[in-house]
Chains A and B, each alone.
Chain A
C-alpha cells in the first residue's frame, strides 16, 4: 500500500517538474468521469455522497489552514459555514442574484466575518481561544435561529439552484462538477499556501509565536490572515451547500455536533497535513453513511475515535501514512548508500 502511494507520489512529483499544474489537471481529468462510473456501476446515491464529501473536503482543508498550519485552536468554524450559506441564500432569495454573483459576495462576507472570529486569536491562546471561538460560532447559530429574516425556525427554503442560461445545476451529477472543481482548487491553493512564504509564516507561528515575532513576522497580521483564508473556504462551502438541491437551510444544520464531526475529520486525517483534511472528510462521510443503521451508537463511535486518535495517533491517518512514506524513502536511500556493502 505504501509502495503504491510512494509510486503515485513519485509520478506526480515527476509531472509537476514538467509544469506545476500538470498533476492537478491530470487529477481533475481522472475525477471527471466519476459520477458516471458511480451512477452506472453502483447507483446515483453515491454521487450525492461524493458531493457532500467534497463540501466537507473544502471545510476540512480550510479548517486545517488555521488549525493545522497556524496552530490556532478554533472551534467556531461551523459558524463561518453558516454565515456563508445564509448570506448566499438571502442574496439569492431577496435580491434575485444568480448564484455566480451571490456566492462570491457570500464568500467575501464570510471572509470579513473571519476577521471577527480571528480577532480573539490576536490576544488569546489555547483553551481561551477555543472558548471564544466556540462562543462566537454558537452565537451565529442562535442569531439565525431567532431572527425571522434569517430563516428562524422554519428555515430558508426554495433557494434557487445555480444556472447558466438554460442549464440548471439541479441534479447530483451536474452539482458534482461544481463542487468537485471547487474542492480541487481548494486543495491546490492549500498546497500553494503551504509552500509559500505565508505558509512558512503560519507554521512558524504554530511552532513558537514569540520566536516568530522576534524573527520579524507580523504575528497578529498572519493569524488574522489564516482565519480569513479559512473563512473564505468555509464561505464557499456554505454557498455551495445552500444552493444544493433541495435548497433548504435550517439552523439545525450548524450545531455543535456538526462542529465536532468537522473536528473529527481534521483530527482523523491529520492536523497540519493537507491530505489529512481530504482523507478525514472522505473517511468520516463514508463511515457516517455506512453506520446509519447504528445511529444509536454513532456519536459514541465518533467520540471514542476522537479520543483514541488524539491519545494514540495525534497526527492522524495522514501523519501515519506520511511517516511510513518517509521511513520507506529513508530506508531506500540507505539501501542505495550502503548498497552492495
Chain B
C-alpha cells in the first residue's frame, strides 16, 4: 500500500492544465508537418503553416495554443494499492484545475447550468473526472482540455449489427462531412465501438489520449482505422474546412465486446490542437 497526499494531486493537475494548453505534443506536431507535406490546396498549406507557427509561439511565450482552453477532462487511473490522504481526491483535482487555469491565464469557459442562467463559474470548474481502478501502486493522471467547437460535433450512433464495417465507415464519414470546418480540422477522430452507449462514448474519448496515429489494439480495428481515414480524407473538407486533401490526421478506434443486438459507435472529434498531458505519481 502506497500513501499519496492529495496535495500532490492538486499540484500535478495544476501543472498539467498549463503544460497541455501551452505545448502541443511532438506526435501532433509531426502529424501536422506530414499533413503540410501532403496537402495540395494553397489555402490549406497556408493554414497548416500558421498552425505550426502558432504552436512554436505558444510554447515559447507560454500562451494558450487556442483561446478555447476547454472543459477540463481528467482521467485518473488509480492503482488499487494506492491510499489517498489529506482530503477528498475529487476536491483536490478540482482545486488543481482552479489553480492551473488562474495561474496560466487560461480561459474559463464553464457555466453553472446547461439551460438556465448559464453563469460562468469563474474558475473553469468543475472538471469532468473519469476514474479507473488498475493494478499497481501508482496514480496516472491524464489531462485533456477539450474545446467546445470539436466536442459539439460528437455523435453516438446505435448501428444495427448488420451495418458492419461499412456501416461504421459511412457513419463516421457522414459525421465529419456535416461537421465541416466547425471542429477545426485536420482532426483526430476518436471512435469507441461496442460496449454500451455510455461505454462507447468514454472509449472514444480515451482513444484520443493515444499518441497521434498509433494504431488500435487489435489488427481488425487498426485496419478499420486505415479505411476510415482514407474515406474521410476523400471528403475534400481540408484544413479548417477551407478545402484540401487533409481532413483528418489520424483515426483512433477501440473495439469492445457488445450485446448481440447492438453495434454502438461513439464518435468524438478532436481538433488539430490535440492537447493532452500525462503524469504518473
Is B truly associated with A?
Answer: no
B interface residues, Cβ below 8 angstroms from A: none
Interface residues of A (CB under 8 A from B): none
